[in-house]
Amino acid sequence: MTVTRSRTRQDVVAAAGRLFASRGYHGTSMRDLAREVGLLGSSLYSHIDSKADLLVEVVEQGAALFQASADRVENAGGTGAEQLAALVEGHVDVVLDHIDEARTFLYEADALDETHRQRVLAARDRYEAAFRRVLVTGAKDGSFQTDLDPAITAIMILSILNAVERWYRPGGRLDRRQLAAEILRFCSNGVGT
Amino acid sequence: MTVTRSRTRQDVVAAAGRLFASRGYHGTSMRDLAREVGLLGSSLYSHIDSKADLLVEVVEQGAALFQASADRVENAGGTGAEQLAALVEGHVDVVLDHIDEARTFLYEADALDETHRQRVLAARDRYEAAFRRVLVTGAKDGSFQTDLDPAITAIMILSILNAVERWYRPGGRLDRRQLAAEILRFCSNGVGT
DNA sequence: CCTACCGATCGGTAGG
DNA sequence: CCTACCGATCGGTAGG
């Protein structure tokens, strides 16, 4: 016996995340979203106030997931090398387990109003700062080279991590642990002999 | 004496590139574009056939610029290390000199019709293949480790390169040669001791 | 390149 | 959550 139960606000937000991630905010209409969740367009407004609010909510979920990973790593402590490994694994997990929120956080911030856009930029910088700190820690404890530039190095590591969702598909040659290991290996040693 | 001369098709395409790169295809209206180029919306159609055609044209310009760089590197030859350096420098040049076409090529392909979208994916793979070949060359000639995976390594290098336009701004601490050198250094040695 | 305009779709509201 | 609808804007066309 199938019971059609009424949609919750979270159903609507999750569906919005799916569409924003796959077609972009401006490429998604409220009627697209309503169809995705099984309603008519006007019925969405008994769950939410506006399309813009939905974007804010999805983006902030993405920001919170990445930050939670960084916070866990910082609380666990360890050498620079250990913490970098944990940051890489945590990022891969967030991207693979919450791809819609991650993509929307990474690529749709420009569709936000200026106030929320600035908050996203601040959230990204805060997350990036965790990588910078780990690089400094590792330079001191002998994990890493001592002359590396933490700012640009953090950006390059995050560039690799953020791009994962653009090419990696589960079920392929690498599982997610092997993926994280490959990334960590490249970030540690590069291609050099 | 200022002469207002009539717009050419290329002015319209270039303006479209600017807007697609900064607001996205779906975030750009034909009236936005007309204003950018100093016309009324309907007047655009004496230069172009449709909004979709404009996207195709900008994206294909981006594809051609990247491919031209890869072709130049391949024709110049050299060791794997030399060719990788040339690919990195070439990519940085394309991104910094043609940021609108590069961004549109990288981020707006999903807004294309399926036929053109597939062509972009093929163009990206062809460009990526140049990186894979250079990695294989370098593994044979002693430039690089012999046990690296060319496919995933090429993706990671390109992830760093493609992200450049998201954070690098000319006139800052690094000029473009230093930027390319930092990227090459990271790709060669990573953070390890 | 503009005037005048088209049908379709947009985000959203009133009222039940 | 639906019916009925709003004004605004969308990409695009006819005709000059």
Give SS3 for B144.
strand
Residue B192 β-bridge partners: A144
Residue B144: phi and psi, rounded to 5, are -125, 170
| pLDDT higher than threshold 50 for residue A3 | no
Residue A144 β-bridge partners: B192
Give SS3 for B192.
strand
In a domain, A21, yes or no: no
Q: Which residues of B touch A189 (CB under 8 A)?
A: 145, 189-190, 192
Each residue of B15-73: pLDDT tens digit? 999 999 999 999 999 999 999 998 887 888 989 999 999 999 999 999 999 999 999 99
Task: Supply the pLDDT for residue A1.
Answer: 44
Percentage of residues in chain A with pLDDT exceeding 90? 90
Q: Which residues of B touch A183 (CB under 8 A)?
A: 156
| pLDDT higher than threshold 70 for residue A4 | no
Residue B144 β-bridge partners: A192
Each residue of A152-180: pLDDT tens digit? 999 999 999 999 999 999 999 999 999 99
End-to-end CA distance of chain A: give it in Å, rounded.
63
- The structure tokens listed for A46 are 């008994």
**What are the C-alpha distances in Å from A101 to residues A19, A63, A91, B110?**
10, 8, 13, 18
Cβ contact B183:B160 at 8 Å: yes
The distance (Å) linking the CA of A120 with the C1' of C8 is 35
- The structure tokens listed for B80 are 């794997």
Task: Supply the pLDDT for residue A50.
Answer: 94
Each residue of B82-110: pLDDT tens digit? 999 999 999 999 999 999 999 999 999 99
Task: Supply the pLDDT for residue A30.
Answer: 95
Whichever domain contains B130, its CATH number is 1.10.357.10
Minimum-distance CB partner of A191 among B107, B159, B187: B187
In a domain, B145, yes or no: yes
In a domain, B146, yes or no: yes
| pLDDT higher than threshold 50 for residue B164 | yes
| pLDDT higher than threshold 60 for residue B132 | yes
Task: Supply the pLDDT for residue A5.
Answer: 52
Q: How sure is the predictor about B7, in pLDDT bands with cuts at 50, 70 and 90?
A: confident
Task: Supply the pLDDT for residue B30.
Answer: 95
Report the candidate in B67, B116, B159 with the shortest Cα–Cα distance to residue A168. Answer: B159
Mean pLDDT, all residues of chain A:
94
Residue A192 β-bridge partners: B144
Cβ contact A102:A127 at 8 Å: no
Residues making up chain A, counted from first to last: 193
| Comparison of pLDDT for B7 and A104, the residue scoring more | A104
The distance (Å) linking the CA of A148 with the C1' of C2 is 60
User: Does at least one atom of strand D sit less than 7 Å from the CB of B42?
Assistant: yes
Tell me the H-state helices in B42-149: 51-76, 80-97, 99-107, 114-141
Report the candidate in B168, B10, B139, B74 with the shortest Cα–Cα distance to residue A191. Answer: B139
Neighbours of B82 (CB within 10 A): 17
| Comparison of pLDDT for B59 and A38, the residue scoring more | B59
In a domain, B106, yes or no: yes
Residues making up chain B, counted from first to last: 193
Question: Domain span at residue B72?
Answer: 50-189
**Which range among A32-46, A65-79, B146-160 shows the weakest confidence by mean pLDDT?**
A32-46
Alpha-carbon distance of B100 to B17, in angstroms, equals 5
Alpha-carbon distance of B143 to B135, in angstroms, equals 9
In a domain, B34, yes or no: no
Q: Which residues of B touch A163 (CB under 8 A)?
A: 155, 158-159, 162-163
Cβ contact B117:B110 at 8 Å: yes
In a domain, A67, yes or no: yes
Is A186 in Cβ contact with B188 (below 8 Å)?
no
pTM here is 0.94
Question: Which amino acid type is present at position A27?
Answer: G
User: Does at least one atom of strand D sit less than 7 Å from the CB of A13?
Assistant: no
Q: How sure is the predictor about B5, in pLDDT bands with cuts at 50, 70 and 90?
A: low
Q: Which residue has 């392909």 as its token pair?
A: B109
Helix axes A150-167 and A176-189, enclosed angle (nearest 10):
150
Cβ contact B80:B137 at 8 Å: yes
Task: Supply the pLDDT for residue B6.
Answer: 64
3-class SS letters over B23-48: HCCCCCCHHHHHHHHCCCHHHHHHCC
Nearest chain A residue to B112 by CA: give it: A23
Strand C: which residues have Cβ below 7 Å from it? A 28-32, 41-42, 45-46, 49-52; B 6-7, 39-43, 46-47
Q: Which residue has 């909004």 as its token pair?
A: B51
CA distance A14 to chain B (A): 21
In a domain, A14, yes or no: no
In a domain, B156, yes or no: yes
Phi-psi region of A38 (alpha: psi -120 to 50; beta: other; left: phi over 0): left
How large is the average pLDDT for residues A93-97?
98
Residue A145: phi and psi, rounded to 5, are -60, 150
- The structure tokens listed for B192 are 């390890």
How many domains are contained in chain A?
Answer: 1
